[in-house]
């Protein structure tokens, strides 16, 4: 059995996080102590890993495809404009905002746009707090002239909220700052989080449709449902057709 790559692990965590928007999945886990803090932790741990290295294979479809398409269009528009503007007028700020960050597609736009927005909102902080002070304020003002206003940034935040929030028993997500962890430590922490809640979900949830949504069941060519273990690297046809994104050319969350 092939060992899971970090991209496959990240894909499974992302699939679980997206599935938790379904109250029929979130409610049984809540009865076992799953809270909004645990959900926030999952997103933060995923960001800590993907901001250092990302090797996603094709991600599962979101339950809100319109929001995902809108977020992808937002990224395609404003990443290009901000990249060109900051690169010419504020190269140091550009280096911080776009460090290991580029345009993505599919589910990865959730972490890429989330990263961009978080970094953008810190550049006008004072230098002692990691920002650029007046230079950052000037950069934000210039970006606003280019059209990237607070209202436009709020549009991205609203779309991120639609894709991250749970429609049910858990409160809305609150943005958490990602801790500065090494990739190895971040990967270990992320997978430990997943293994805990995956094991609980496999016992708390029995409906086959929900288990399939969580990625715990797959259907064979013969139409039979087969359990997917947490250490199984699937070698199906769709995975073979979808090469992993290179880590040096993929969006990395803050």
Tens-place pLDDT, residues 104-116: 777 778 888 888 9
**pLDDT confidence band for 170 (50 / 70 / 90):** very low
Q: Report how far residue 85's alpha carbon sits from residue 53's, in angstroms, rounded to the nearest whole number.
A: 26
Query: For residue 221, what is the DSSP state?
Result: T
CB 187 within 8 A of CB 9: yes
Alpha helices in the chain (DSSP H): 6-19, 23-30, 36-50, 65-89, 91-97, 109-120, 134-145, 150-164, 183-204, 208-213, 237-241
Give the residue from 236, 244, 242 showing the smallest Cα distance to 54.
244
pLDDT value of position 248: 35
Judged against a pLDDT cut of 90, whether residue 150 lies above it is answered with: yes
pLDDT digits (tens, 9 = 90+) for 183-231: 778 888 888 998 988 889 888 888 888 888 888 877 777 778 778 887 7
Tokens of 62: 């979101």
Q: Averaged over 53-77, what is the pLDDT?
A: 68
The region of weakest confidence among 4-8, 146-150, 238-242 is: 238-242
- The pLDDT of 230-253, averaged and rounded, is 40
Residues 6+ apart with CB under 8 A from 111: 46, 47, 50, 51, 54, 251, 252, 253
Q: Between 238 and 73, whose confidence is greater?
A: 73
Residue with tokens 């749970």: 166
Q: H-helix or E-strand containing 217?
A: strand 217-219
Rounded average pLDDT over 9-16: 84
Residue pair 236/95 in contact by the 8 Å Cβ criterion: no
Range scoring the smallest mean pLDDT among 10-19, 109-118, 164-173: 164-173
Mean pLDDT over 238-249 rounds to 35
Average of per-residue pLDDT values in the chain? 76
């Amino acid at each position: 059995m092939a060992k899971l790559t970090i991209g496959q692990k990240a894909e499974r965590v992302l699939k679980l996080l997206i599935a938790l928007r379904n109250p029929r999945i979130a409610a049984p886990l809540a009865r076992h102590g799953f809270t909004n803090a645990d959900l926030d932790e999952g997103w933060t741990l995923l960001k800590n890993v993907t901001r250092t290295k990302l090797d996603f294979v094709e991600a599962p479809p979101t339950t809100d495809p319109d929001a995902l398409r809108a977020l992808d269009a937002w990224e395609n528009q404003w990443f290009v404009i901000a990249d060109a503007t900051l690169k010419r007028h504020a190269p140091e700020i550009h280096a911080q905002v776009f460090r290991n960050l580029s345009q993505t597609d599919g589910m990865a736009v959730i972490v890429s746009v989330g990263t961009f927005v978080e970094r953008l909102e810190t550049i006008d902080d004072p230098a002692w707090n990691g920002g650029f002070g007046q230079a950052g304020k000037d950069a934000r003002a210039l970006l606003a002239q280019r059209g990237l206003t607070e209202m436009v940034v709020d549009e991205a935040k609203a779309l991120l909220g639609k894709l991250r929030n749970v429609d049910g028993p858990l409160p809305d997500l609150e943005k958490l700052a990602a801790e500065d962890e090494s990739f190895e430590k971040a990967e270990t922490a992320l997978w430990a989080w997943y293994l805990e809640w995956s094991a609980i979900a496999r016992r708390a949830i029995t409906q086959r449709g929900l288990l399939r949504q969580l990625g715990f069941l797959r259907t064979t060519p013969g139409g039979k449902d087969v359990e997917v273990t947490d250490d199984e690297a699937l070698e199906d046809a769709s995975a073979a057709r979808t090469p992993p994104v290179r880590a040096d050319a993929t969006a990395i969350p803050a």
